[in-house]
Structure 1
Amino acid sequence: MQYRLESIRRSKKESQETLAKLINVDVRTYQNKEKGVTQFKQNEMFIIARHYNCKVDEIFLPTNFENQEVL
């Protein structure tokens, strides 16, 4: 699952290491979360959203969410 997080992080010129430190995880763990291999914990999502002054759903809804059909 691809989130908007990566594009937001890159537009702010921040490294994955910076975000890993922000949520207090190893860089490799953060990379897996950003790739969608593992999921962000709820508290991590709120920390990142606060950091970027955004709503959680603006960052963590899948990038193709608008194209998905609700069943």
Structure 2
Amino acid sequence: MIERLKYSIKISFMLAVLGSAVLFIWGMIGRLDISWDVLRSALEGFVAFGIFGFILGFLIYDLES
């Protein structure tokens, strides 16, 4: 069970970083500056993708050999 949680946290962190980076870059391109809206969007993306990644990692743990 501990290994499953470690795996889920790794997947969660990878998806959270990638998701927030995409939202940050997308917001920068759309507004052409760094504003609080862009930073808030990236932070919300980090949390949302982190939760999604944790659940996904927990479910697919047994699929890897």
**What TM-score comes out, normalization by structure 2 length?**
0.30
**Larger relative contact order, structure 1 or 2 (CA cutoff 8 Å, min sep 6):** 2
Which structure shows the higher helix fraction?
A: 2
**What TM-score comes out, normalization by structure 1 length?**
0.29
